Amino acid sequence: QQNEPNSFLWTIKRDPPSYFFGTIHVPYTRVWDFIPENSKKAFQQSHIVYFELDLTDPYTISALTSCQLLPQGKNLQDVLPRDIYRRLKRHLEYVKLMMPFWMTPDQRGKGLYADYLFNAIAGNWERKRPVWVMLMVNSLTEVDIKSRGVPVLDLYLAQEAERLRKQTGAVEKVEEQCHPLNGLNLSQV
């Protein structure tokens, strides 16, 4: 039984206690003020913190990038129906055109340029598997662009754990996330 409703915090009663906390992949600034104090306190008091993936590990980031790619020699144009591919290409051209208008003065003040940001998000899109392109397109909205540069909740907590010198780990490997998504067929995507 939790003291605060909707805390997404589960307690395993043992000595010392263990906690499970459900996070979501959104900029932490969107949700931080709504995370109940019992969850924040559990994080602060913990000495060891495990995350879904170790987002602070360069290998994890590299492996995530690699797993998104189509097999060698294949391009998205080879696997998508022609009309969908053309609509996707036009949409990405539109996003690239709009991105300078979507960026905040704060982002520009930190040296972020629209072309750089577009390439960081959508670079090499023609080599990616359809499921990863779909996820990428879903994140290419004005609201999401305005929050770029702010870490998602998982990464923020991982960075805080490192800053506080907590022992960290991951409960999944990149392959455990990639293989199920890469196994979806085109109609499922």
Would the pLDDT of 167 be above 90? yes
Q: How far apart are CA 49 and CA 85, in angstroms?
A: 42
Would the pLDDT of 162 be above 80? yes
Nearest Cα to 149, choosing from 53, 66, 29, 22?
29
* 3-state SS class at 145: helix
Residue 56: pLDDT band by 50, 70, 90 thresholds?
A: confident
Residue 6: pLDDT band by 50, 70, 90 thresholds?
A: low
Residue 2: pLDDT band by 50, 70, 90 thresholds?
A: very low
Q: What is the pLDDT of residue 11?
A: 86
pLDDT in tens, 120-136: 899 899 999 999 999 99
CA 4, 17, 10, 30 dihedral sign is positive
Q: How far apart are CA 162 and CA 146, in angstroms?
A: 26
CA dihedral 150, 151, 157, 161 (to 10 degrees): -90
Q: What's the Cα-to-Cα distance from 185 to each of 68, 93, 131, 176, 181, rounded to whole Å?
A: 14, 26, 9, 17, 9
* 3-state SS class at 147: coil
Instruction: Judge whether 54 and 159 are in contact, CB under 8 Å.
Output: no
Tell me if the pTM is above 0.85: no
